[in-house]
Amino acid sequence: MPLAVHLLFGAIITALIHPLGLGLFLAFASHYALDALPHWDYSIENIKSKKWNNAFPDFAKIFFDVFPVLAIIFIVSKNPYLLLGAVLAGLPDILMFSNWIFPNKILLFLDEKIHNKTHYPEQKTRLCLRALVTFLIFILAFYVLFTATVNSPLTGSFSTLSKTSLNGPR
């Protein structure tokens, strides 16, 4: 699943689930649940095969996948915990990259035994269907992010919201 989707879900889960520690843990775990769905993902084969001379487009894809969404999460929520939840939700992919670049037993276990095992086998479904599922989840995640952050006790907008409801209509 593209990182943008993982980051959005991580922020949403952190905004909605309390206490914070549980929310952050579930944000991390949501990565595996989302990867288990049929989905489309872009190729970063050059990074995987360490062809560094050709890897710039792969790094550019990751950059544009990650930073605009992190910026939107922060602008919408103004809450660093939601950013932390987003990063934790992306962590399994960061561990996967680390395993490719600096292979070791722990990373190999996390990547191959957990990440790969829970990942949806891409060949099982047609590309157009997987792309559609990914697109719909992405749009849904944006919608929920906007609603979830408004209602979350973690975010600033909640205090203005509860003040209005406490004071009642004038």
- For Zn ion, what does the binding mask look like between residues 111 and 150, x meaning CB under 5 A? ----------------------------------------
CB of 68 to Zn ion, least distance (A): 19
Under the binding rule (CB under 5 A), the answer on residue 93 touching Zn ion is yes
Residue in the block written with tokens 């395993």: 99
Report DSSP letters for 76-129, one per residue.
Answer: HH--HHHHHHHHHHHHHHHHHHHHHHS--HHHHIIIIIIIHHHS--GGGS-HHH
Nearer to Zn ion, 20 or 94 (CB): 94
Under the binding rule (CB under 5 A), the answer on residue 65 touching Zn ion is no
- For Zn ion, what does the binding mask look like between residues 15 and 44, x meaning CB under 5 A? --------------------x---------
